Amino acid sequence: MYTGIAAYYSAKIARFGATPSGVDWTCQATQEMRFVQLLKLCDFASPFSLNDLGCGYGALIAYLDRRHDDCAVDYLGIDVSEAMVRRARRLWRDRGNAAFALGYASPRMADYAIASGIFNVAQDQSRHDWERFVAASLDDLHRTTRRGFAVNFMKRPAEATARHGLYTTDTAPWARYCAARFNATAEVHDGYGLMEFTLIVRKV
């Protein structure tokens, strides 16, 4: 499964470079709209560490530097695509407090973690197998964070059939899963203009 995911995104970054299209987003505006929602998890009043699972070329760093430059964030980006990690390391080699790792799980404990878009492209995986992957990823995000994590999902269309290869879901199931399995608070944020929702899970 991870080989297929890595190949998909390696092809994107090779074709489009360090751009939103290079990580399969439509544009910078919607990419940053997702960052706004995901970062509602974090308390920017004091420094913290952050794992970015499925980091791509590290677009979140530019957003943090522009919008939250008054808060020191110890950033680690993790991605399954070696091409993505190479590009990210080149792009951010002169920035302190930022590192990148190749892999599908977080290699360190951090205060927070986010994962943007990693559950969308199921390719040819069955729904059952893909949801096992989602659950394993959520377990890892919980295990490697001290305060909590945030992820996003594509919403299940009300009437139209979802495009083949994309995973869509309702807002409630994964919120219930996280609240029960992790004994945590699970907040769903939607209504921000995209056919998706953000799930913020805080440890109690």
- Enumerate domains of the chain plus CATH numbers: 2-203 (3.40.50.150)
Alpha helices by DSSP H, the chain: 2-16, 28-38, 59-67, 82-91, 127-143, 172-182
Output phi, psi for 133, to 5 deg: -65, -45
46-61 average pLDDT score: 97
Confidence of residue 28 (pLDDT cuts 50, 70, 90): confident
Structure tokens at 25: 């987003």
More confident site: 167 or 17: 167
Percent of the chain with pLDDT over 70: 87
The pLDDT tens digits for 62-83 are 999 999 999 999 999 999 999 9
In the prediction, which pLDDT does 25 show? Answer: 62
Is the overall model pTM greater than 0.85, yes or no? yes
Is 60 exceeded by the pLDDT of residue 1? no
Q: Measured between alpha carbons, how far is 30 from 59 in angstroms, rounded to an integer?
A: 12
- In the chain, the amino acid numbered 43 is D
Average pLDDT, the chain: 91
- Provide the β-strand partners of residue 73: 48
In the prediction, which pLDDT does 160 show? Answer: 61
| Residue 50 C-alpha from the chain's centroid | 12
User: CB-hemisphere CA count at 13 Å for 15?
Assistant: 11
How far does the chain reach from its first CA to its final CA, in angstroms?
A: 33
Which residues fall within 8 angstroms of residue 133, CB to CB, at 6 or more apart?
1, 125
